Structure 1
Amino acid sequence: MKLQLDPDRLFPADPATRAVARALFEQVENLPILSPHGHVDPAILVDDRQFPNPAELFIRYDHYVTRLMHSAGVDLSRLGIPNRQSGEPVASPREVWRTFSENWHLYAGTASGYWLQSTFNQVFGIDVQPSAENADAVYDVIQAALDTDDFRPRALFSRFDIEVLATTDDPMDSLAPHRALAADPSFSGRVLPTFRPDAYLNPSTPGWADKVAALAEWNGSAVSSYTGYIEALAGRRRYFVENGAVSADHGVFEPLAVDLSPAEASALFEKGLSGTLSAAESRAFAGHMLLESARMSTEDGLVMTVHPGVYRNHSSETFAAFGPDTGHDIPVTTTYVENMRPLLEKYGNNADFHLVLFSVDETVYSREVAPLAGFYPSVYIGAPWWFLDAPDSVLRFRSAVTETAGFYRSSGFIDDTRAFLSIPARHDMARRLDSAFLARLVREGRIDEGTAGRIIVDLVDSLPRKVFKL
């Protein structure tokens, strides 16, 4: 079967509305990409090595892709993921690609299928749908391209017109790749680190005490000193700011802020180091540190993003055999209004403090996030994320939040991806969907076309710059 991209894909079926959407999209189609939150390894841009093969590039590390094949009964070892229990050899890259091609039908109607089709066609010029019959031929086309200099990471970064790319980084990271790119006159983009402190803030995280010890050693303070711990976190945040960071990201299970006194927090900190915290005490300390992180953001200016509500490693069998990030993270119910009130009571009316709230629980957008963003100057609505960054759910998101908070309390699009080659397809999809949503409002007489034109440009360009202080 042919792989052909409809130039009007994702636009409304009604011809008149589709024409408005097309005109709006044309205003933003070629604007540079701003990616203020994501998970691309910056080392690929420093080293600028060729990507090894199609299987590693598109399948092995993309749990969006592997999870669907696993659900159809494909063992993850057949997808190039090593089984750390059995030690059995994994499939070769070409075998992985054949398995993927045999199962291509699974991706029809999914966001992953949409992005992959866009990438295959627009980046590699492939004009056939993957199948068992053409698996080797398509593999060879992609491999031949990857073997050329035009498909090295830096060449693609330039081709994709990426202006800003943020990564996600451990607080103790040296940020050497970011520093190298910033000092390289031949590299024109901005690659910004993001402070991701979860493992340092939650005592229930395996290895938390070791993380605390690393902070203390860097800070020259006693491991047992809560004051030194806070100073070290603030110091590492300053280091990130000095190296271009604009945000701190919190991937918490539960968005919870707890206001403890310094004495109460210090006591729980000491119990955490001794391993005697109860589950309730650990939850309280983690909630207190989320509140402390907000305080630090009001001082150092880092945007605070919160990505909550994911049950990690839901399948213990899969985790034991294949490890984390292998497709079995599942959304859970999320609530912000009560849990985050202590934080908003302290900092919610501070317009210089930017708090971006994300969710993989669709119900929370209209019930909680949009009303909060529609009142508090600090709160912005994070773009649809993970299980929700798909065409229909993006349109549902716009419907859920716009009537309460408008367009200007949203973050702009966030691709939040490890899949470097999918970045253009993801941003193109978002621009098309926002154009489609605005076109409907125009045709319904709710806004005029000039207003829609201003909004679409702001959603793509002005809002991400403002919200993330770019």
Structure 2
Amino acid sequence: MPYSSTKVSFISENFLLQNEYASILYHQYAKDLPIIDYHNHLPPAEINADKKFENISKIWLAGDHYKWRAMRAFGITESFITGDASDEDKFKSWAKTLPYTLRNPLYHWSHLELKRYFGFEDLLSEANAKEVYKHCNGILEQDSYSTQGLLAKMKVEVVCSTDDPIDSLDQHISFHKKGKDLGMYPAFRPDKSYAVENPSAYQSYLSSLGEAAGFEITSFEKLLEAMSKRIDYFHERGCRLSDHGLEQLYFFKENSFSIESIFSQVLSGKPLTSEEVNFFKYTTLLALCKMYHAKGWVQQFHLGALRNTNERSLRILGPDTGYDSIGDFDQAKAMSGFFNELNLEDQLTKTVIYNLNPRDNEIFATMIGNYNDGSVKGKIQFGSGWWYLDQKDGMEKQINTLSNMGLISCFIGMLTDSRSFLSFPRHEYFRRILCNLFGQDVANGELPWDEKWLGGIISDICYHNAKNYFDFSPKNIQV
């Protein structure tokens, strides 16, 4: 039952749907489709254990740096964000902030989440925070509000976690043995394998990687051997995609440095020049991408984030706490060179590139067309707007740019990229925005009103394209 009888929320049946065509496309062809969430940061252990959360703050506010940034901007002190204040007081602080996030996507997301998961149809504010906190906590006590129950509630068919090469994947193995309808698969995230900017941290990581691979890593050749062994391990346990978080891709036309010499310098603790660091990343990534191609994996590149800009807060709170922003890195030339190098020997696997700087949308949208070869529908994908761009304006710009310069009909759609089990209404948000754009084109006379044809394309973008693009029915998983 809805929490409030007043139902003053603006989240109506036709929220974001501005005409009858958009409404038909959403309600008949998008709304009820399952979700394939092929990139997120949900903890596999919490899914496997079917964890239940003791209160709304634990599941909704903890780890959500989007909300943390908003609260800081509103003048909420850190003790009520990541500090030692009670969970209820943290919730009240967020409730105090939320009305002032209007025109920020948090305003839409938060009310969607409260309505879809908790039946709350009013507007959250400081005035009703105590009642809402109690209401949500009571619902979270229900057995169906465990992690698996929450995913089932949103019709999530597949979730792909984000996993370091050294991970044992024990949680995935255990979950797979249970034979659940939900598919939980690992995704290979090897960022630390080429993070040689900090030699001491890298040496420590090599030690852990060596333990996972079963031998000491004493050379670059051994590093690649270890990574190949871990890719085999991941593949045998259902992994079919990789992911990389980078400022930009790198490319060196000439073999400018000795890679073994660079590796030796790192082992000895000597700092590298920026060019040596970039050459190491390029060489390692190139080798990894060839391994992905051999396995038939999809590779993802999230490009353009400027991370850890606030050193004082980094020292106090650590990374991923809300102090990253959009970077202004050059993307086109090196990206083209990197993909071309792989393509020369037909070793460019299916690829998704995500852009964080909206000035580069056209660069990314045109780049994907350079390497589609007819072997796979939408082999190279311009990924959905992510992080700072997974809001209405950012999604519309990404969709429109892809439509203008590629084939929106081949697009594999939305993902959460989230650490929250309550973030899945973002798929609804995307689907409404997508249907509204198509509906507006029909109303403007720019598309014919062929309901089944347009509805089929909407369904493809929201579900079927991703279903066909990824191999999420791997056979013979070793458990």
| Same structural fold, with TM-score higher than 0.5 when normalized by the shorter chain | yes
Q: Does 2:265 align with 1:271?
A: yes
Compared with structure 1, are the counterparts of its residues 341 and 264 closer, same or farther at alpha carbon in structure 2 (3 Å cutoff)? farther
Structure 2 partner of 1:11: 17
Partner Cα separation in structure 1 for residue 347 and residue 214 of structure 2: 35
Query: Would the aligned equivalents of 2:290 and 2:347 in 1 still touch at CA under 8 Å?
Result: no
How far 1:449 moved relative to its partner? 3.3
Match in the other structure for 1:426:
426
For residues 220 and 111 of structure 2, the distance between their equivalents in structure 1, rounded to whole angstroms, comes to 51
Cα distance change on mapping 1:133 and 1:444 into 2, 3 Å:
closer
Aligned positions of 1:62-81 closer than 5 A? 62-79=64-81, 81=82
- Aligned position for 1:40: 42
Distance (whole Å) between structure 1 residues aligned to residue 246 and residue 253 of structure 2: 17
Alpha carbons of 1:260 and 1:271: their partners in 2 closer, same or farther (altered >3 Å)?
A: farther
Q: CA deviation at 1:334?
A: 3.6
Matching residue within 103, 107, 125 for 1:109: 103
Contact 1:356 1:411 in 2 (8 A): no
Q: Is the 8 A contact 1:66 1:327 kept in 2?
A: yes
Q: Which residue of 330, 337, 347 maps to 2:332?
A: 337
Cα distance, 1:265–1:465 mapped onto 2, change above 3 Å: farther
Matched, 1:200 2:218: no
**Counterparts of residues 167-186 of structure 1 (less than 5 Å):** 167-185=161-179
- For the 8 Å contact 1:334–1:359, the answer to whether it is kept is no
What is the alpha-carbon distance in structure 1 between the residues aligned to residue 235 and residue 253 of structure 2? 26
**Residue number among 345, 350, 371 corresponding to 1:354 in the alignment:** 350
Residue 313 of structure 2 corresponds to 318
1:26-175 mapped onto 2 (5 Å cutoff) = 26=27, 27-79=29-81, 81-82=82-83, 90-175=84-169
Seen in structure 2, the aligned counterparts of structure 1 residues 259 and 171 have a Cα distance that, compared at 3 Å, is: farther
Match in the other structure for 1:247? 241
Between 344-353 and 428-437, report the one with greater CA deviation: 344-353
Q: Distance in 2 between matches of 1:443 and 1:316?
A: 50
Following the alignment from structure 1 to structure 2, what is the Cα–Cα distance between the partners of residues 93 and 216? 40
SS of corresponding position for 1:251:
strand
CA contact (8 A) 2:65 2:321 kept: yes
Q: State the distance in 2 between where 1:241 and 1:66 align.
A: 36
| Matching of residue 410 in structure 1 with residue 406 in structure 2 | no
The answer as to whether partners of 2:342 and 2:348 remain within 8 angstroms in 1 is no
Q: Distance in 2 between matches of 1:33 and 1:351?
A: 30
Equivalence for 1:87: none
3-state DSSP of counterpart to 1:136: helix
Q: Can you list the C-alpha shifts for 1:253-282, whole angstroms capped at 9, x where unaligned? A: 222234675982222111122222222211
Verify the 8 A CA contact 2:35 2:158 in the aligned structure 1. yes
Cα distance, 1:91–1:144 mapped onto 2, change above 3 Å: same
Distance in 2, matches of 1:266 and 1:248, equals 25
**8 Å CA contact retained: 2:371, 2:380:** yes
Q: CA deviation at 1:64?
A: 0.5
* 1:301 aligned residue (296, 307, 328): 296
Q: CA deviation at 1:216?
A: 2.8
Aligned to 2:446: 446
Which structure is richer in relative contact order (CA contacts within 8 A, separation 6 or more)? 2
Instruction: Tell me which of 362, 365, 368 is aligned to 1:370.
Output: 365
Q: Give the AA of the match of 1:327.
A: G
Q: Distance in 2 between matches of 1:330 and 1:299?
A: 35
C-alpha change, 1:180 and 1:300, in structure 2 (3 Å) is same
Residue 394 of structure 2 corresponds to which residue in structure 1?
393
Pairwise CA distance, 1:228:
1.4
**SS in structure 2 at match of 1:52:** coil
Deviation string, structure 1 residues 108-166 (Cα, Å, up to 9, x no partner): 12222211101111210112222222111100001111112121112222221110001
| Alpha-carbon distance in structure 2 between the residues aligned to 1:128 and 1:446 | 37
Return the alpha-carbon distance in structure 1 between the equivalents of residues 15 and 241 of structure 2.
33
**C-alpha distance in structure 2 between counterparts of 1:253 and 1:23, whole Å:** 40
Q: Deviations over 1:148-205 (max 9, x none)?
A: 21211122222211100010011110111111111103x2110010111101112114
- 3-state DSSP class of the match of 1:30? coil
Q: Which runs of 5+ in 2 are unaligned?
A: 1-5, 373-378, 473-479
> 1:315-363: per-residue Cα shift (whole Å, max 9, x none)?
1122122222111111112433211233222234749711111011011
In the TM superposition, residue 385 of structure 1 has moved relative to its aligned partner by 0.2
* Residue in structure 2 matching 1:285, options 274, 280, 285: 280
Residues in 2 aligned to 1:430 and 1:98: alpha-carbon distance in whole angstroms: 28
1:456 aligns with 458
Extract unaligned runs of 5+ from structure 1: 13-17, 83-89
Change (3 A) 1:348 1:336: farther
CA distance in 2 between partners of 1:242 and 1:253 (Å): 30
Take 1:218 and 1:50, find their aligned partners in 2: how far apart are those partners?
31
Cα root mean square deviation, aligned = 2.0
Q: Matched residues in 1 for 2:287 and 2:254: separation?
A: 10
Question: Distance in 2 between the 1:4 and 1:430 partners?
Answer: 17
Q: CA deviation at 1:58?
A: 1.4
State the TM-score, normalizing by the size of structure 2. Answer: 0.90
In structure 1, how many angstroms separate the alpha carbons of the residues matched to 2:11 and 2:53?
Answer: 25
